[in-house]
Structure 1
Amino acid sequence: MQWIKKGLLFCPDGKSTWNQRGYAHVVCADTSFEDKIRLYYSARDNQGRCQASFFDLDSNNLSKVIYVHPEPILDLGVPGTFDDCGIMPTWFMQNGEEKWLYYIGWTVRNTIPYHNALGLATSLDGVHFTKKFTGPIISTSATEPYFNGSACFLFDQGKYKVWYLNCTHWVEDEGLMEPCYHIKYAESLDGIQWERKGQVAIDYRDSVEGGISRPSVIVENGIYKMWFSARAITDYRTNRDRSYRIYYAESTDGINWNRFDEQVGIDVSENPTDWDYGMIEYPLVINHQGNKIMFYNGNHFGQTGVGYAVME
């Protein structure tokens, strides 16, 4: 496969307190509208906390932003809850009349920089969202003691399926604690209560790889196809050679996967001034008007915004 980059789409203007640091992290798409695609994302406020909002693209001209929502769509959690320090959308699902937005909640810790868990918010109009629960729907457990993050949720073969980031351990790198995580798989009858058996979908490729994140899965002709991003364990924040890249895998059952990293067909830009020169990460792949579209983030984990590419 080969992806043709179409350029940068959107980055917050930084004029409001909730998006002063920019970023357009980890977009997820509502494609239920006839005339537009709605992309949910998170920006960062002046304290570095993620805040969720959305913008709309012209369905017939994806390079055209036709609306930018001016405020966050969800409040941060009350002190002590799993999302009191940040909210980051990770997957959108149309569930009957309701629009479900799965999101990552952020809170801070003492011995490590942060902790994540997955929550759920719902809406009827795609603008006004309400948290379904005060607490998370996927969090730490007896066998998953660290944290869970970016995820892909699908309703497939009569059940809900999720591929989710699962932290396996933390390592210290020059005084900074860095998390290592891979992708696990679980199932549910209602999209809320999950049967987690510890099934690893995408594991570390080698001893260098340490962060596998943001799976995006589609099913075509009985084949599960996943795009995801991965980085090195350490020295990935500013070292371009160890930073995030996008990769690809396939499966016949959604559980056991084969990686085809060399086939992904997209890489960082070669122009040092480009928005995606340092890293590319957090892909979202959708089918749209007969084409495959990939939305993805660029430098510094999405601080430069979100762009897109079309499969050749």
Structure 2
Amino acid sequence: MKSWSKLCLIYAPINIDEMISTHASNALPILVSDDVYRIFFSGRDSENKSSVGWFDFDIVKKEILNVCDETFLSCKENNRKYYSHGISLGCFLNDGLDINVYFMAWQIEGNNHWRGDVGRFSLDSRKKIKNVDDTPYMTSDKEDPISLSYPFILKDNGLFRMWYGSTISWDSPNGEMVHVIKYATSMDGVTWNKHGLAIPFQLGVAQAFSRPCVLKRSGTYHMWFSYRSGDGSTYRIGYASSTDAMNWKIDLDSGVAPSIEGWDSEMVCYPYVFVHKEKVYMLYNGNSHGKTGIGLAVCNEVEV
């Protein structure tokens, strides 16, 4: 699944309010009806702190139908400290009653380095907020002592599988952080067994990963992710495949690369891949980590 056609820039950020004045990162599409998706995203304020907004998009007509007129979920909401400096969307699961959304929760305490946990909030059937967890859904421990980032959870034949980001070091010999994708499983979606590194990393080639997205088709697991090499280059989108969800064959050429010019000419990042009416689509961000907006691509391969 490496052959893609870019369709268009579907959303260029607008100044919605003081909490979402720039950026539209980490697009998360949740079906509303027929061909219409409510696409949630992480926007930023003047201090670069991220909060959540949304727009409704007809994926067949390629039209925006509605845009929120205020912040949907603010990082300042109820002063919850574990996401005091930002909410960056990861994935969602629909349990039949509610939609649980999982995100990277940013915080900075004092003069310390930023760090992340995994947070969660739930939506009702109208896509309104029903609950926001008071404490992190997953936080640092012996396996992941430094910082966590974007989770992706797949319910697969009764087993919950999670791929998530974990920091090994803030500063490697080339000055880039080492942030990898790890793997965990759970029988109930609450208690997780961690299995360590999922995607291999290599200093100077691919060592700073973020936002994995996994799609299972015909017995094969397909993963897309952002990565940086450590040589000063901006994010790119990589790809990996696996037949057992644990051992992955990695390919840094995902088939979605920066354009020659325009909104995604310097960077591509934060992919989210999903299926609509047997077509496989990717939402992704371009330059400056989503400052220029959200793009849409479609997979050209028939057998997916």
Report the TM-score when normalising by structure 1: 0.89
Q: Which residues of structure 2 form unaligned runs of 5+? A: none
What's the offset of the Cα at 1:187? 1.1
Is 1:45 the equivalent of 2:34?
no
Structure 1 Cα separation of the partners of residues 255 and 89 of structure 2:
26
Change (3 A) 1:206 1:265: same
Alpha-carbon distance in structure 1 between the residues aligned to 2:188 and 2:39? 24
Residue 67 (structure 2) pairs with residue 68 (structure 1): yes
- Provide the residue aligned with 2:189 in structure 1: 191
Match of 1:179 among 168, 177, 180: 177
**Any idea what SS the aligned residue of 1:23 has?**
strand
CA displacement, residues 138-192 of structure 1 (integer Å, 9 cap, x when unaligned): 1100221111111211110211111111111111799xx8532110010122223
Task: Look up the match of 2:18.
Answer: 17
| Counterpart secondary structure, 1:202 | coil
Q: What residue in structure 1 maps to residue 239 of structure 2? A: 248
Q: CA deviation at 1:259?
A: 0.9
Alignment correspondent of 1:216? 213
- Is the 1:161–1:187 Cα contact (8 Å) retained in structure 2? yes
> Counterpart of 1:238?
none
Instruction: Give the letter aligned to residue 40 of structure 2.
Output: Y
Residue 239 of structure 1 aligns with which residue? Answer: none
Which is further off, 91-100 or 118-127?
Answer: 118-127
> Which of 264, 278, 283 is the matching residue for 1:276?
264
What corresponds to 2:154 in structure 1? Answer: 154
Normalising by structure 2, what TM-score? 0.91
Q: 2:17 is aligned with what amino acid?
A: S
Report Cα offsets for 1:39-68 as digits up to 9, x if no partner: 11110012211001211111422x211111
Matched residue pairs, number?
298
Answer whether contact 2:206 2:229 (CA < 8 A) is retained. yes
Tell me the C-alpha RMSD between the 2 structures: 2.1
Q: Is the 8 A contact 2:20 2:71 kept in 1?
A: no
Aligned to 2:143: 143
Residue 208 to residue 259, structure 1, CA distance change in 2 (3 Å) = closer
